[in-house]
Structure 1
């Protein structure tokens, strides 16, 4: 495996931590800036929406810029946005900083995925994607506790200073180690939009969105689920989240290995099917803490195991528009996160948190239907070798 992939994964981890880091310092921000809790919560919502919108737009606008140069410019912009966040005197400045940070982060995430697939041999593409998604999943899972620990010790601005410093370190390392990968040929916007008319591609994008919707229907409200069904509090809650985070990070790597061994289509079908079954079974395991933890670890790992197979599948399906499709996939992932959180809240309001897992499993079942539909559609599916030669040409 090309060691530069690990550097990209570390950079992606740094970028990803900033999305949910607000969740661990929300009470400190509200007290310092004298704003209501709901306004602090909007800092996460605005980030997710900006991230979702920015990814495909920025990938198109910057399509003619050399990938290495673009990556370093985006990292510098990300550094400046976090400095602005750390220095924010009022809420409106912090909100602008979050929008800028999300835009640069979206560009960096998609570039990391795209570059990683270009600097490894085709046989290792799934594993390279898995390593990148270990960075992404790790950042999303660890962002809240990291922000909480640093914020309580040094104030809510401290996490932003740390991320800004790590951004500079990443810039230095990548300026030396990152090769000059070839910029994909510019594709007319009309042709890019035409690829989205493909039933195969649209249904493929829905796999990610609906699976994440199902996942977040429960995970966004995992704490009340644990409290109500198992009466867990304090240290046990922290332990469960730590175990969940470790499993999620490892799941990205396992998913990449499976994608290389089985191929993306088969991997997607197996992972989504298993994820739905495990998620639906979670409420039945709460009678035994040990059984629950085992099932939860599998659930967590599968939640991120899908990403390398999905990204690899999109690259094979339409290699010429791979950058655009990867950007869109990153966007729909965040749409799924937002939608799942909303659906989970409705379930709790109308019924009970105990039903969230089953409602989420229903969305996963629809995701499986989209996977079957996409894989069985004729179209632009290429062999791995063909896809690789097209991307590297």
Structure 2
């Protein structure tokens, strides 16, 4: 693996820590700002909406910039947003600061995935994407639990200072370790959204949307979903998030190697089925600490394990459009996060917190149906591509034989 991918993963670690740490300190934020947990949960939604909307917009606006400049600017804006979150006192202004932090993430993450693909040969794309995604999953194993612990022992504002510090360190790593990479082709926003007219792309993104909405419906309110197992103790919640994150790192890296070997369909469908079953029984497993640990291990490994084959599938549909397709997938992930915060808040008015897993499972299995539908459309294209490749090889062989004669 090209070691130049590592700085990209460091930036993803900072972005990932911010994405996941707020869920672990929601009770502290709500109490400090004198708002309900459901209202505090909209801090997650504000970040996610900004990320989702601005990803294709900023990709179009920055397409003529060098990739290192894009990555550096994204991290700088992300850091500034987190500093604002740490120092502001008004809830409305804090919501706005989360929008700014989300904008930074929207600039950085799609560019990081696209650069990773550019740095390696086609047969290593799955592993390169897995390394970048391991930065995100590593944040769940280390950054988010650490931030949760800091927030529970000290102050949630201290947690946001930790996230801002990670942003500064990642910016320095990108500036000093990543080589200069030329700008990509300049495309308008309409051109960047044009792949959405392709049913294969649309259904693949629908898979991301449905599965991630199901997963984040639980994660957004993880502090109360697992309240029976943690007894409200912040250090126990931090431990559970660390378990989940460690499994995510393993599942993420394993998915990269497995996808390169077996293709995206098998890895993707197995991961979705297993995590769907896990969520269906979450109302039972979240009652006890030992069962919760097992549930989170499965969730982390399979929930994160489906992201790499999803990206690989998109790139395989149109390799020349990899940066655009990956930015659309990144935007879709955060559309899912935004929807899940609102969906979870609504469901909490109807069911008990520990029952959110069942609601998530319905969405996850709907994503499996979308995945298979996408495969049925992609399969004829792959067959045609194989036939074209065989034809080209045959023509080249015949030409060589004629020259020898």
TM-score range, shorter chain: 0.7 to 0.9
TM-score w.r.t. length of structure 1: 0.84
Partner of 2:105: 105
- The separation in 2 between residues aligned to 1:125 and 1:351, in whole angstroms, is 42
- The separation in 2 between residues aligned to 1:90 and 1:81, in whole angstroms, is 15
Mark the runs of 5 or more structure 2 residues left unpaired by the alignment: 390-405
Partner of 2:172: 172
| SS, match of residue 244 in structure 1 | helix
Q: Bigger shift: 277-286 or 129-138?
A: 277-286
Max Rg structure? 2
Q: Bigger shift: 100-109 or 201-210?
A: 100-109
Partner of 1:256: 256
Partner of 1:391: none
Equivalent runs, 1:82-161 vs 2, <5 Å? 82-88=82-88, 90-140=90-140, 144-151=144-151, 155-161=155-161
- The separation in 2 between residues aligned to 1:85 and 1:294, in whole angstroms, is 34
Equivalent runs, 1:1-393 vs 2, <5 Å? 1-25=1-25, 36-37=35-36, 40-88=40-88, 90-140=90-140, 144-151=144-151, 155-227=155-227, 234=233, 237-283=237-283, 290=290, 293-353=293-353, 355-378=355-378
Contact 2:77 2:104 in 1 (8 A): yes
Q: Deviation at 1:211?
A: 0.7
Distance 1:189 1:51, change over 3 A: closer
- The separation in 1 between residues aligned to 2:303 and 2:263, in whole angstroms, is 18
Aligned residues: 382
TM-score w.r.t. length of structure 2: 0.82
- The separation in 2 between residues aligned to 1:296 and 1:25, in whole angstroms, is 18
Partner of 1:389: none
Contact 1:224 1:353 in 2 (8 A): yes
Distance 1:161 1:236, change over 3 A: closer
- The separation in 2 between residues aligned to 1:59 and 1:354, in whole angstroms, is 39
| SS, match of residue 196 in structure 1 | helix
Distance 1:312 1:355, change over 3 A: same
Contact 1:271 1:302 in 2 (8 A): yes
Deviations 1:307-331 (A, max 9, x none): 1111111111122332222122112
Contact 2:71 2:108 in 1 (8 A): yes
Mark the runs of 5 or more structure 1 residues left unpaired by the alignment: 387-393
| SS, match of residue 377 in structure 1 | helix
Deviations 1:279-335 (A, max 9, x none): 334456579865664354123210000111111111111223322221221122122
Deviations 1:53-83 (A, max 9, x none): 1111111111111111221222222333333
Contact 1:187 1:321 in 2 (8 A): no
Q: Deviation at 1:166?
A: 3.1
Deviations 1:97-140 (A, max 9, x none): 32221101111111111111111222221112112112213335
Distance 1:343 1:159, change over 3 A: closer
- The separation in 2 between residues aligned to 1:93 and 1:218, in whole angstroms, is 26
Q: Deviation at 1:256?
A: 1.2
Contact 1:282 1:296 in 2 (8 A): no
Contact 1:24 1:144 in 2 (8 A): yes
Contact 1:151 1:158 in 2 (8 A): yes
| SS, match of residue 349 in structure 1 | coil
